[in-house]
């Protein structure tokens, strides 16, 4: 009984700390959100376009989808993760509407970093951030919230770092977590999935600079390179049909995932489907990374 009460109290405390209500578009008439986007957008512009040198390849693909895609079609961008300032600085390049709160992205963020207290939670909520609990699984409450954003957000853009954590070494794209694939599958309207790869942010905000710690502010006079790919196509009907034929594997550890309706995909089918889609996204991102390396050498 006490354990149940403690768990309930912890859940209530977590809900209070993450302040979901502050992320609603109509909160206080939208003025706090607009102010945060204006301030953070200016910060990103200064660091990406003035204090550092940023080169963006195929920027038009991103600009077009952010501002002029078909109504009601959600956009899901995915990128590698090289520093704690990838977002918002990666949107600070010249010509991008960084300060537009209506067009601005929602982004999945680490709860233990961005939502440590009420003040931080409020600011990040105003910045259209969705907290993700590390180790909480793909059916955690916050992932359901991210799905709600894709479903109910209207003109919505969500950004994800599917590698799941920062990696500052220049290595191939790591194995992706399944959360991003699960959002694509569960969304009633399949989002446009746009891959982005960047380098240079690891020099702007190195993880271990001063006595094993990050610098207090981003560094200057660094070169940032970003490449935007083309949308990744998924034939969801064919993929779900193939997944439904995957034999049930009783030896696999069960996570207690719900069956996906109306497709009726059980946990074994979901595992196959999420891995298949994650592998495709990873391979596309790795090809982009190789292309960016070649562009930087010329």
How many domains is the chain partitioned into structurally? 1
Q: Is residue 250 part of a domain?
A: yes
Phi first, then psi, for residue 36 (nearest 5°) are -65, -45
Domain that holds residue 77: 11-297
pTM confidence score: 0.92
Average pLDDT (33-61) is 98
Distance CA 233, CA 99 (A): 30
pLDDT of residue 115: 95
Assign residue 256 the CATH number of its domain: 3.40.1130
Residues ≥6 apart with Cβ < 8 Å to 264: 244
The answer to whether residue 286 is domain-embedded is yes
| Structure token digits, residue 288 | 């982009």
Is the peptide bond prior to 133 cis by the omega test (within 30 degrees of 0)? no
Domain membership of residue 139 (yes or no) is yes
User: Is 1 within a domain?
Assistant: no
CA gap 124, 119 in Å, rounded: 9
In a domain, 247, yes or no: yes
In a domain, 267, yes or no: yes
The pair of structure tokens assigned to 105 is: 């992205």
Entry field: residues in the chain: 298
Predicted local confidence at residue 77, as pLDDT: 98
The percentage of the chain sitting over the pLDDT mark of 70, rounded to a whole number, equals 91
Q: Does the residue 6 lie in any domain? A: no
pLDDT given for residue 253 in this prediction: 61
Query: What pLDDT does residue 71 have?
Result: 85
Q: What is the pLDDT of residues 232-284, one digit of tens each?
A: 999 999 999 999 998 877 666 677 788 876 678 989 999 999 999 999 999 99
For residues 296 and 293, the model is more confident at 293
Given this model, what pLDDT does residue 15 score? 55
């Amino acid at each position: 009984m006490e354990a149940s009460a403690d768990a309930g109290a912890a859940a209530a405390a977590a809900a209070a700390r993450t302040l979901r209500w502050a992320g609603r578009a109509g909160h206080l008439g939208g003025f706090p959100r607009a102010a945060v986007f204006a301030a953070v957008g200016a910060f990103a512009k200064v660091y990406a376009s003035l204090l550092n040198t940023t080169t963006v390849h195929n920027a038009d693909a991103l600009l077009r989808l952010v501002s002029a895609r078909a109504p009601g079609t959600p956009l899901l961008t995915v990128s590698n993760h090289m520093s704690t300032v990838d977002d918002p600085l990666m949107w600070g390049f010249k010509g991008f509407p960084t300060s537009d709160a209506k067009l601005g992205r929602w982004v999945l963020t680490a709860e233990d970093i961005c939502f440590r207290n009420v003040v931080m939670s409020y600011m990040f909520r105003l910045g259209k951030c969705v907290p993700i609990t590390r180790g909480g699984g793909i059916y955690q409450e916050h992932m359901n919230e991210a799905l709600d954003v894709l479903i109910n957000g209207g003109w919505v853009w969500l950004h994800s770092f599917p590698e799941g954590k920062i990696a500052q070494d220049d290595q191939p794209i790591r194995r992706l977590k399944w959360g991003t694939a699960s959002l694509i599958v569960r969304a009633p309207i399949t989002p446009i999935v746009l891959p982005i790869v960047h380098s240079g942010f690891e020099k702007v905000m190195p993880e271990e600079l001063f006595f094993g710690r990050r610098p207090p502010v981003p560094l200057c006079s660094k070169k940032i390179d970003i490449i935007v790919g083309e949308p990744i196509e998924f034939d969801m009907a064919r993929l779900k049909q193939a997944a439904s034929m995957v034999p049930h594997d009783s030896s696999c550890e069960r996570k207690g995932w719900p069956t996906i309706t109306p497709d009726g995909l059980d946990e074994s089918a979901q595992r196959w489907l999420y891995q298949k889609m994650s592998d495709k996204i990873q391979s596309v991102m790795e090809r982009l990374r190789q292309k960016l390396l070649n562009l930087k050498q010329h």
